[in-house]
Amino acid sequence: MKKIILGAILIIACCFVGVTPTFALDYVEANDFNSLYSALLPQDSAVKLTSDITATGNLFTTKGTTLDLNGHTLNIATYGFYIYENATILDSSAEKTGKVNGTADFPFQIGNSTRTGDLTIESGEFYFTGKYGIRVIGGSSLTMDGGSISAKRFTVYNQGTTTINEGEVRARNNVTIQNHTNAILEINGGKIITDADYQAINMYGSCKATMNGGEIIAMKEGTDYKGNGIMMFKDTEFIMNGGKITTFGAAILGNGSVDGTNEGTNAKITITGGDIKAIDDGAIYIPQPNGVTTISGGTIEGTTAIEIRAGTLNITGGTLTGTSDTYDVIYNTNGGTTTGAAVAIAQHTTKLPINVSISGGNFTAPTALSFANPLGNSEEDLEKITIEITGGNFNSTSTGTITMVEPREFITGGSFDKNIEEFVPDDYVVVEEGGRFVVKSVQSLQPVVTDPEDDESDIAVPNTGSIAKEGQSANIFHMLEPIALGVLMLAISYKTGKMIAKKITSE
């Protein structure tokens, strides 16, 4: 009763001074397995270790459990720790030496087939030497606000909901987070690391991951494989709004299989912000059938920034850089083909449709946009590929701004460091502005044409796209079409009937 009265007095006092009341937990101390096992069972229990403990059986939590490692080591050994309802694990020691060890295949499990659980890790080191780390059953959740988790592979096997706010999740030999069917992963902070030549995150079957902050790191330089960031399979979705992905291999990659276990159909990628950098590979690899990739912001760097081999790519913003010194295309039926491009288009063995639309963004590489046919697919197959550029800034560091396997007129907007008039349709014109080549619609430009009945007046006629200089001639490809005000172009003099260079001015 005294505790209740004191609690009421404290609440009243806090209300008067405008302070939210906080209460220290009434911990039960545990110094061996039996005392720990018993202390964890009651609801709303708070347990503090007072010595290192080795489990001699499975451990369980019920509703409202708090476990303070208090600088000590809990060795689960070959047994399991099962979280039911909601629980919190932390280490209150100043030295932060609290640790949980385990050697079982699944030493930690949140929920089961009939009961759900929610675990929050505030601090402490979790180090597992068995097959996996923490398993989150469907309907259950893991929230990481600090601390570290390390395992050989599948450090977090997520079948429910996992949220990383702070702390570190690391795999020593394989995939770090396995995001399984119907799972949800949210990354707001912290680090997700693989030390192996595998993926930091493997997304398998109708699951979703969102990255708002934090880091994904996969820097292994393997003999046959490289450390990759995120691998995506069928019906998966990855959204990146912020944070950073740094990899030796690809940062984000899909799977080109159309059936079987590794089918990659319908994988969806959306990038609105953040930084992506692949050191020795293309940053984003898109072979997935019927996949949709949308980029509106962020920075993307790799030997090629993005390579698409099937599906749809929409770019409205962002900065994409191909970091290779040279441009090259190779024959490859299982991976990327192009280096030295900001955007590379290369149809896969699946010969599926590709749709690329670019309306904004900044693109820099030896060739800003590459359309190649490394597998020698037929002309009929290549007709399934559509490319549209209506905006954006394109820059070449060596080869050429646009490199095409076949002639196409697909550019109706944008700014380029080199003249790309061969890719511009007849009703558009290339105008030089400040050392850049800008594509504009002929119909959108409004010159002044005086009365043709006056033999002193002139009618403006655009040339092939080059800027006419005073006294020079050029070829005419459109007669009597309007062009830009203030631009020096060819004109026909009614008085003399000869072509002259004339500057079109406003009224």
DSSP string, 297-364: SSEEEESSSEEESSEEEEESS-EEEE--SS-EE---SSS--EESEEEEEE--TT---EEEEE-S-EEE
Decide: 102 and 81 in contact? Cβ < 8 Å.
yes
Query: Could you report how far apart the first and last alpha carbons of the chain are, in Å?
Result: 92
Q: In the predicted model, what is the mean pLDDT of the chain?
A: 86
Least confident of 132-136, 416-420, 430-434: 430-434
Distance in angstroms (rounded) separating the CA atoms of residues 265 and 259: 8
pLDDT exceeds cutoff 60 at 477: no
Determine the Cα–Cα distance for residues 347 and 345; give it in Å rounded to an integer: 7
How far is residue 236's CA from residue 231's CA, in Å, rounded to a whole number?
Answer: 10
| Bridge partners for 362 per DSSP | 319, 393
Q: Where are the alpha helices (DSSP H) in 408-466?
A: none
| Whole-number pLDDT of residue 478 | 34
What would the mean pLDDT of 127-147 be, rounded to a whole number? 96
Tokens in use for 507? 């009224």
Given this model, what pLDDT does residue 24 score? 61
CB under 8 Å to 189, separation ≥6 — which residues? 164, 165, 166, 213, 214
Distance CA 369, CA 9 (A): 71
Is the Cβ–Cβ distance between 197 and 220 less than 8 Å?
Answer: yes
pLDDT at 261: 65
Does this model's pTM top 0.75?
Answer: yes
What's the confidence (pLDDT) of residue 400?
86
pLDDT, one tens digit per residue, over 201-259 is: 999 989 999 999 999 999 999 778 899 999 999 999 999 999 999 999 999 999 988 77
Q: Is 435 left (phi over 0), alpha (psi -120 to 50) or beta?
A: left
- Please tell me the predicted confidence (pLDDT) of residue 27: 94
**Total residues belonging to the chain:** 507
In this structure, of 147-156, 358-367, 455-464, the range with the lowest mean pLDDT score is 455-464
